[in-house]
Amino acid sequence: MALLDHVGIRVTNLDRAISFYSDMFGFEMIDRRMFPGPEKVEAAAMKVGENGLIFLLYNASFTAHTPSVEGRPDHFCLPFEPQEFEGVMARLENAGVLERLKCELMPRTGATGRSPSRYILDPDNHQIEVKIRG
């Protein structure tokens, strides 16, 4: 059986992205390194749950998405236990993140079942579905 091991996303400011994923979701950075090669990509590995990673990938040539998600269905989903979800939502609201993308909390279906979720945007306008683990 295959598992999803990690997701890599491009960011325009690595320190800002590390702070966002750490402060909003509680993810711990477990590695930071420069990948060899001509492109000079610096990466930070953020621990998600027991076995998952999000690689934040920085290169000076990367540009952020536009904040419009119109016609852009790409996203990834982060499910949290109910109590943890409430804390995440409070942090996102206090940081003004929920105002960036007007999205209602509503039931959506995914690998962990059907449960309430809300879409947000990270600092580079990656769309993230934040969900109660169903």
For the chain, list the domains and their CATH numbers.
6-58 (3.10.180.10), 76-132 (3.10.180.10)
Which pLDDT belongs to residue 2?
83
pLDDT for 129 equals 97
As averages over each run of 10 residues, the pLDDT of the chain (134 residues) reads: 91 98 98 91 96 96 90 92 97 96 94 95 97 92
pLDDT for 86: 97
What is the DSSP pairing of strand 76-80 with strand 106-110?
unpaired
Residue 37: per-residue pLDDT:
84
Q: Are 72 and 65 in contact (CB under 8 A)?
A: yes
How many CB atoms neighbour CB 40 within 10 A?
A: 12
pTM: 0.94
Cα distance between residue 107 and residue 125, in whole Å? 22
What is the structure's pLDDT at 36?
A: 85
- Please report the beta strands in 1-134, taking only residues with DSSP state E, as ranges in sequence order: 6-11, 28-34, 42-48, 52-58, 76-80, 106-110, 113-121, 127-132
pLDDT of residue 95: 97
Cα distance between residue 113 and residue 89, in whole Å = 20
pLDDT for the residue 4: 86
Residue 128 pLDDT: 97
The first and second tokens of residue 121, run together, are: 């945007």
